[in-house]
Structure 1
Amino acid sequence: MVLVSAARDYINRMLQDISGMKVLVLDSQTVSVVSVAYTQSELLKKEVFLVELIDSISKSKESMSHLKAIYFLRPTSENIQYVRRQLASPRFGEYHLFFSNILKDTQIHILADSDEQEVVQQVQEFYADFIAVDPFHFTLNIPSNHMYMLPAVVDPPQLQQFCDCAVDGISAVFLALKRRPVVRYQRTSDIAKRIAHEVSKLMYQQESGLFDFRRTEVSPLLLIVDRRDDPVTPLLNQWTYQAMVHELMGIQDNKADLRSFGKIPKDQQEIVLSSEQDAFFKANMHENFGDIGINIKRMVDEFQQLARSNQNIQTIEDMAKFVDNYPEYRKMHGNVSKHVTLVTEMSRIVEERKLMMVSETEQELACNGGQVAAFEAVTNLLNNENVSDMDRLRLVMLYALRYEKESPVQLMQLFNKLAAQSPKYKPGLVQFLLKQAGVDKRTGDLFGNRDLLNIARNMARGLKGVENVYTQHQPLLFQTMESIIKGRLRDVDYPSVGNHFQQGRPQEVIIFIVGGTTYEESRSVALQNATNAGIRFILGGSVILNSRRFLKDLEEAQRIARTSSSVV
């Protein structure tokens, strides 16, 4: 509940201390913050009768002096100007201004000067500048996520905006948790180093008083790493519930949008998947697809039994009991329909795209050696007309990442075959990925074939066999967490910023992945926290990736890099 609780506490404090009918005014970022932490019915209970976006409310002139306006916004220059203009001709009876991060002195002066009619009752900083999708997983939803891939020579203004958003979000998390960490970063990543230094400067110099919390025996650790150190995880098909929904359909702010998927009932076209609001999802979000089907069947059977008992209404007492249980009955009906719809649609996609066949080869590429067999398997799938262009591209990328040094001739053959059979394939994209995240660029032991301990672990796993061939992959993050737990995170690979060093093993660790997290990594963090009582991990990133988003970011970065090089 750590991150979700922190966000909820801020929203509670905003809403409960202001009595009467309220309008809640948000921006495109804070609407995500609120929507994952609070339901519409909870907002109504707090007398919030209207929710508006700051840019749309600016266009309206209608007076609503009977409402008290609660603004919850990021402290951007654009938002400050919106508020300034709205205070010039107030539409609401009172204005309560809350900002999700640190306000600059100049911004405070602008707001003070703008309140000529003295309608502003308070201005406060509530540090919820992050989207708490799960108790130990947050995202920043940075739109220009591809910026982290740009070469060092290309430094457009948007790259600084990306860094600023990352710094703001990370600092807000630590302000919400009331902690000041030791900051470490991945040495081979310029962008991770840049963000780490800016975060440290903010916490230890610019706003040191704000971060001067009660010291813990061992400082928390903030580790900033680069997505390109593990490009395999976002390229793989997923077979656990939450990760699979995001891979096949997409999840945004804990909602799955099914409007473009076949004949979906109207009330099921947007599905909320929140571990805080849905007990079945909470219990099953990390279970594999086969077990989900069994568990949904059990839930359907329980619902049918409840429905049959409700048909036996013979007395007034039976009727009263049914009325009392009706809200729970409706909720259970909605839950059953929701999860049956999701699993039915995912089963259809799996069959249509032959994903079980594709995924088996993906897992072999990610987890096991054998270049000759891998080349044959990928070639066969490229020749299979039932395999989609995107799945072909991902297979070649996984092969290239695994065998870029071992089989350049076969790799070129796969490039040519991919270009011939997938007309939508953009030439050079696999090569661009290798430039970005090839073996010479990576810090970690991605395939477990450098470090003797990892080689032995992989051999032991191979001898024992795996419980499920489709979920045998472990993200690099798992190794990183193990290294932290055992005190083996190498200073040469992950240096500290400044003179702030870790004294002993940290009990709280936030790992921030520049370029985005995945739900497979979120699952690893949740499982690690459940089994290791001595240390708590929190995972955060610039966005939450699936393979489609990862490939889109790669394409956009390639386009900008090409344009920049042609200009030079």
Structure 2
Amino acid sequence: MDPTDALDGIASIRSYIDRLVTADGRATGMKVLLLDATTTQIVSCVSSQSEILGRQIYLVSRLGDQGTKNGGHSLEFKEEAHTGHMKAVVFIRPTQSNIGLLIQELSQPRFSEYHIFFSGIVSPSLLNLLAESDEKERVKQVQEFYADFLPINEDLWSLNCRNTLQMDTKQQNMLYDRNLMGLQSMLLAMKRRPYAIRYQGSSRVAKKLAGDIHESISNDDIFHFRRGAGANTGNFLLLIVDRMDDPVTPLLSQWTYQAMVHELLGLNNSRVILRGAPNVSKDLEEVVLSSAPGHDTFFASHRNSNFGELGEAIQKLLQDYQARSKEHSAGNLRSIEDMQNFMDKYPELRSQSHTVSKHVAIMGELARLVEVCSLMDVSAFEQDLACSEDQAGHLRQLMTKLDQASIKIPDKLRLGMLYALRYENSSPKNAISAVKEAMKRGGVPPSNVALVDAVLRYAGSSVRGPGLYGSNKDTASKLMKSFMTSVQGVSNVYSQHSPVLMDTIEAAVKGKLRGDTHPMISGSGGRTTTFVENLASPQEVLIFMVGGMTYEEATKVSEFNQTNAGRIRVVLGGSTVHNSTSFLEELKTI
């Protein structure tokens, strides 16, 4: 089956990498792989360095560099005398700066052949410039491989593009273009042509992105896929939303494995830095957590497990390893056959040992931070602020917590912002001012207290669309959700919150997404219409979130896909994956 049929980002990128290492079947023998900064991240998301180097790739390097570091390993170019007979496979983004580096490379070619693959659509002008520069005729092929995004999970794709909370200004056209090209690449990699494009009506940049994507699909033959060639034949909806509609989700503490690691330790390019954490050995100071096949089956299986479930799973993982180690211990090696069996199993045991040590170390550090930061107490109040209405009670609790030395400064900041978002229009009007003064007394720097006003400018009630805290019309549904939560005992108070995105998905798949909040681009010229009542329910949905998504939203999408397996599939893509730290850093620029 074509990997794009499954709507799986990891499978799509892996299929491109498989073709890359053979130069799409047109280059045999040892080769050199030249990448740029972005394609290095893309390749490392699905393939380890040892995998790449084990497939007739002699070395990996950055285009324009004499050497680079990949995954902590230094890769140095050999002398040209040793590489001049080799073939270079170039995989880069189609930017002017990359074309400039490629032209410089071709002016004094170090390799016998160049097989060039761009990660997105290349403009004719850049192609002509490249052709004119290949005076020694070393370029053997030029292709577009639509792999201009990072597949984090099979249903979560990121552009790893920061500072996109507000990118519709003239100074940030480069960021907008990166998001447009990344979204084009996602559609082309999946071979999907949407039957409808919907966008968040409150967002200017979502509207512009929807219009530009519609124009690309309408005018470029590359989006006209042949049926039976992996192209989607069902109802595929492209829905473009904006982080602005839900500023609450990035501010909440997280309790599932992948989300918790990102919030407390940082999870960037599938790497976690444990350097400086107590009782962590040197070989565990930087570890990899990847959902890609063959990397870490335990993480792939438990990335959405909550904290309690995770502790039990890691304990079982440790017990299984101890049992296997005891079985193959020196005291049980009584024959040559036993020794041979041990040597056969040794690489697997060694790999399992590292996996166990890694997850035990991460779990230990997460547990330590939960305790020293009083996160259970903080998180329970965050959830209450996000999910219920009680201004007087919330204000009393907030003032108490802002005075507590046990609550860390970043957590005091988040609590103050969550209160301001919920009660910005409530009386007494001076409550938020009082909260900001209390934040300062509690140790929050004035520059960070200013983020309370920044988040209201960015995503206050006058700016964002409806839905963050519901309305009077859905009081009954909220009460029912609260009742079901208590009956089912949803791991408790720490998982009450549901992102706005999930309400949007539920409405979209039922064909009930309102046209006034999420208009549709249709017809020639990209006409906007709010009349979408007769729109068919989609079978597949790609949601692209301008400004970045979170792992909480990714977890909810994954759970939705499991519940609806075989009926509907949702893929979440966006500018970047936020935790509270990155979200606050970007707010500072507004």
TM exceeding 0.5: yes
Match of 1:432? 454
What do the CA deviations read for 1:537-568 (whole angstroms, capped 9, x no partner)?
000110100000000000122xxxxxxxxxxx
Match of 1:315? 335
Q: CA contact under 8 A between 1:87 and 1:115: conserved in structure 2?
A: yes
Structure 2 counterpart of 1:202, which letter? S
- Aligned equivalents of 1:74, 1:55: Cα separation in 2: 14
Match of 2:529? none
What do the CA deviations read for 1:72-123 (whole angstroms, capped 9, x no partner)?
0000000001000110101112111100001111111111111111111111
Shift, 1:180, TM fit: 1.1
Match of 1:225? 241
Match of 1:562? none
Is the aligned partner of 1:480 residue 2:504?
yes
Match of 1:165 among 158, 162, 178: 178
Is the aligned partner of 1:414 residue 2:435?
yes
Q: CA contact under 8 A between 1:382 and 1:421: conserved in structure 2?
A: yes
Q: Secondary structure at the match of 2:305?
A: coil
Is the aligned partner of 1:520 residue 2:552?
yes
Q: CA contact under 8 A between 2:321 and 2:352: conserved in structure 1?
A: yes
Match of 1:192? 206
Match of 1:183? 197
Match of 2:145? 126
Match of 1:282? 300
Q: CA contact under 8 A between 1:227 and 1:515: conserved in structure 2?
A: yes
Q: Secondary structure at the match of 1:56?
A: coil
Match of 2:318? 300
- Aligned equivalents of 1:281, 1:258: Cα separation in 2: 17
Structure 2 counterpart of 1:302, which letter? D
Shift, 1:66, TM fit: 3.1
- Aligned equivalents of 2:133, 2:322: Cα separation in 1: 60
Structure 2: unaligned runs, 5 residues or longer: 1-5, 69-76, 527-531
Structure 2 counterpart of 1:414, which letter? V
- Aligned equivalents of 2:485, 2:105: Cα separation in 1: 65
Q: CA contact under 8 A between 1:393 and 1:425: conserved in structure 2?
A: no
What do the CA deviations read for 1:149-181 (whole angstroms, capped 9, x no partner)?
xxx7xx2332x1111111101110111111111
Match of 1:341? 361
CA gap of 1:504–1:88, structure 2 versus 1, over 3 A, is same
Match of 2:375 among 355, 377, 398: 355
Match of 1:447? 469
Is the aligned partner of 1:45 residue 2:54?
yes
Q: CA contact under 8 A between 2:289 and 2:299: conserved in structure 1?
A: yes
Q: CA contact under 8 A between 1:219 and 1:503: conserved in structure 2?
A: no
Match of 1:530 among 547, 552, 562: 562
- Aligned equivalents of 2:211, 2:66: Cα separation in 1: 38
Shift, 1:438, TM fit: 1.3
Match of 1:136? 155
What do the CA deviations read for 1:285-318 (whole angstroms, capped 9, x no partner)?
1011111111111111111111111111111111
Match of 1:271 among 287, 290, 295: 287
Structure 1: unaligned runs, 5 residues or longer: 558-568
Most deviating of 538-547 and 385-394: 385-394
Structure 2 counterpart of 1:145, which letter? T
Match of 1:508? 540
- Aligned equivalents of 1:361, 1:50: Cα separation in 2: 52
Q: CA contact under 8 A between 1:196 and 1:224: conserved in structure 2?
A: yes
Most deviating of 57-66 and 453-462: 57-66
Is the aligned partner of 1:55 residue 2:79?
no
- Aligned equivalents of 1:70, 1:216: Cα separation in 2: 30
What do the CA deviations read for 1:462-502 (whole angstroms, capped 9, x no partner)?
65354321122111111111111211101111111132878
- Aligned equivalents of 2:492, 2:28: Cα separation in 1: 55
Most deviating of 352-361 and 451-460: 451-460
- Aligned equivalents of 1:261, 1:97: Cα separation in 2: 43
Shift, 1:234, TM fit: 0.3
- Aligned equivalents of 1:51, 1:217: Cα separation in 2: 38
Paired positions, count = 550
Match of 1:75? 94
Match of 1:256? 272
Is the aligned partner of 1:365 residue 2:365?
no
CA gap of 1:280–1:459, structure 2 versus 1, over 3 A, is closer
- Aligned equivalents of 1:136, 1:463: Cα separation in 2: 30
Structure 2 counterpart of 1:3, which letter? G
Most deviating of 193-202 and 457-466: 457-466
- Aligned equivalents of 2:291, 2:485: Cα separation in 1: 34
CA gap of 1:269–1:175, structure 2 versus 1, over 3 A, is same
- Aligned equivalents of 1:447, 1:157: Cα separation in 2: 33
Identity %: 40
Is the aligned partner of 1:110 residue 2:129?
yes
Structure 2 counterpart of 1:507, which letter? Q
Most deviating of 407-416 and 56-65: 56-65
Q: Secondary structure at the match of 1:23?
A: strand
Structure 2 counterpart of 1:480, which letter? T
| TM-score, normalised relative to structure 1 | 0.93
Match of 1:156 among 129, 148, 170: 170
How much is the aligned-residue C-alpha RMSD, in angstroms?
1.9
Is the aligned partner of 1:494 residue 2:527?
no
| TM-score, normalised relative to structure 2 | 0.90
